[in-house]
Structure 1
Amino acid sequence: MVNSASFSNSKYAIVGGGLMGRLLAVALAREGSQVELFDKGHSDASGATARIAAAMLAPLAESAITEDSVVRMGIHSLPRWKELISQLSTPVFFQQDGTLILWHRQDTSDAERFTAHLERNCRNNSLLQLPQKLNNEAVRDLEPGVADRFTQGLFLPNEGQLDNRQLLDALLIELNSLKVHCHWNTEVNPDELRKDHAYKAVIDCRGTGAKDGWNNTLRGVRGEVIRLYAPEVKLKRPTRLIHPRYPIYIAPKENDVYVVGATEIESDDLSEMSVRSAMELLSAVYTVHSGFAEARILEMATQCRPTLKNNLPEIKTRKDKGLSDLIMINGLYRHGFMIAPAVLDCALELLRSGDSNTALDLGLNITQETNNSEASLCV
Structure 2
Amino acid sequence: MSQRLQIGIAGAGVLGRLAAWALAEAGHHVTVFDPADGPAPRQDGRGAAGYTAAGMLSPLAELDNASAEVALLGWQSIAIWSRVAERLTAAHAGSEPAPLLFRQLGSLMVAHGSDLGAAERVLARLRGATDLHAAMPQAQALDRPALRELEPALDPQLRAWLLPGEGQILPAPMLSALAASARGVDWRWGCSADEVAPGRITLADGTWHDCDQALDLRGLGARPALPLRGVRGEVVWLHAPGVALQRPVRLLHPRHRVYIVPRPGDLFVVGASEIESEDRSPVSLRSAVELMAAAHSVISGLAEARIVHLETNLRPALPDNEPRIEAEPGLLRINGLFRHGWLLAPALLRDGLRRAGLVNALENGAP
**Fold-level match, TM-score > 0.5?**
yes
Contact 2:282 2:311 in 1 (8 A): yes
Cα offset for 1:125?
3.2
Q: Deviations over 1:275-298 (max 9, x none)?
A: 110111111111111111111212
- Which ranges of structure 2 fall in alignment gaps of 5 or more residues? 93-97, 203-207
Out of 198, 217, 221, the residue aligned to residue 209 of structure 1 is: 221
Cα offset for 1:148?
3.4
Contact 2:10 2:196 in 1 (8 A): no
What amino acid maps onto 1:26 in structure 2?
A: W
Q: Which moved more, 1:7-16 or 1:334-343?
A: 7-16
The answer to whether the aligner puts 1:17 opposite 2:46 as a matched pair is no
Q: Distance in 2 between matches of 1:154 and 1:272?
A: 34
Q: Distance in 2 between matches of 1:243 and 1:259?
A: 18
Q: Distance in 2 between matches of 1:100 and 1:23?
A: 28
Cα offset for 1:165?
0.7
Structure-to-structure mapping, 1:137-216, within 5 angstroms? 137-150=145-158, 152-175=159-182, 178-191=183-196, 193-194=200-201, 198-214=210-226
Cα offset for 1:198?
4.3
Contact 1:95 1:162 in 2 (8 A): yes
- RMSD over equivalenced CA pairs, Å: 2.1
Contact 1:228 1:259 in 2 (8 A): yes
1:44 aligns with 40
**Which one has the bigger helix percentage?**
1
Structure-to-structure mapping, 1:1-379, within 5 angstroms? 6-42=1-37, 43-46=39-42, 47-88=47-88, 89-90=91-92, 91=98, 92-122=100-130, 124-150=132-158, 152-175=159-182, 178-191=183-196, 193-194=200-201, 198-214=210-226, 217-318=227-328, 325-352=330-357
Cα offset for 1:11?
0.3
Under a length normalisation based on structure 2, what TM-score does the superposition of the two structures give? 0.88
Under a length normalisation based on structure 1, what TM-score does the superposition of the two structures give? 0.85
Cα offset for 1:200?
0.6
Cα offset for 1:149?
3.8
- Distance of aligned partners of 1:63 and 1:209 in 2 relative to their CA distance in 1, 3 Å threshold: same
What amino acid maps onto 1:115 in structure 2?
A: L
What amino acid maps onto 2:140 in structure 1?
A: Q
Cα offset for 1:191?
3.8
What amino acid maps onto 1:160 in structure 2?
A: G
Q: Distance in 1 between matches of 2:144 and 2:201?
A: 60
- Distance of aligned partners of 1:102 and 1:290 in 2 relative to their CA distance in 1, 3 Å threshold: same
What amino acid maps onto 1:67 in structure 2?
A: S
| Percent identical residues | 39
What amino acid maps onto 2:53 in structure 1?
A: A
Cα offset for 1:227?
1.3
Q: Distance in 2 between matches of 1:100 and 1:191?
A: 41
What SS does structure 1 have at the residue aligned with 2:235?
A: strand
Contact 1:22 1:171 in 2 (8 A): yes
Aligned length: 342
Q: Which moved more, 1:190-199 or 1:97-106?
A: 190-199
Runs of at least 4 residues off by over 4 Å: 194-198
